[in-house]
Amino acid sequence: MFNNRVKRPVILFIGHMNKMWLGGLVSLVVILAALGIGMMKAQPPAYFSVQSSLPVNASVEDSSIQFEVETVKQNDAGENYFVNYRLKREQFRQETKAMLSELLNSTVDKNKGQAQEKWLALSTKILQEGEIENLLKIKGFQDVVADVFSENVTVIIYAPSLTPNEVSIIQDIVVQVTKVRLDKITIAARK
């Protein structure tokens, strides 16, 4: 008479305690999603104006960013000597890299192999020069440029003169980085 196989809704099979857990979990997810969306909308989007050149200096005034281009005057005296030296050195490196890049794309294996060797040598030179310059600045020298060649190293320090102790510090750092002999290191002070 009575049908024992009456289909009941799934919700009735889930106990009352399970309903509370499920409801709480769904509520928590909804609240976290609303908070996340609200926080994303609270941050103003970044705005970058289209510019034809890259700026050197930037300052924030009010809620806008002001750009100012810094120019370096060509001058071989004082600190500008070091800036100009680095600019010329970087320009030469970029030209060298461009030429080597063409050789690296060559189909001639001999050219490709030589270009790889030159590229590796240039990379090692750049790394060593940067390391020498950074270590000397850490030691307290105001400005410095280093030029590493295959058999010798030249270091120019921004100072009126150098004490024997400072020369010794410079030599120790150069030998540590390049493994070149002391008689192959040239050190000059330039103010």
pLDDT digits (tens, 9 = 90+) for 58-101: 444 554 445 444 444 444 455 588 889 999 999 998 988 888 88
DSSP 78: T
The residues spanned by each domain of the chain are 10-34, 79-190
| Residue 38 in tokens | 């609200």
DSSP 45: P
| Residue 135 in tokens | 């270590």
pLDDT value at residue 71: 47
Are the CB atoms for 159 and 170 separated by under 8 Å? no
pLDDT surpassing 60 at residue 10: no
pLDDT value at residue 70: 46
Q: For residues 88 and 54, which has the higher predicted lDDT (pLDDT)?
A: 88
Are the CB atoms for 157 and 172 separated by under 8 Å? no
| 30-42 confidence digits (pLDDT tens) | 777 777 666 656 5
CA atoms within 13 A on the CB side of 7: 2
CATH number attached to the domain at 79-190:
1.10.287.4300
What residues contact 147, with CB distance under 8 A and at least 6 apart?
Answer: 89, 129, 153, 154, 155
DSSP 44: P
pLDDT surpassing 60 at residue 181: yes
| 135-158 confidence digits (pLDDT tens) | 999 999 999 999 999 899 999 999
pLDDT value at residue 33: 72
Q: By percentage, how much of the chain surpasses pLDDT 70?
A: 64
**Sorting pLDDT into bands at 50, 70 and 90, what band is 28?**
confident
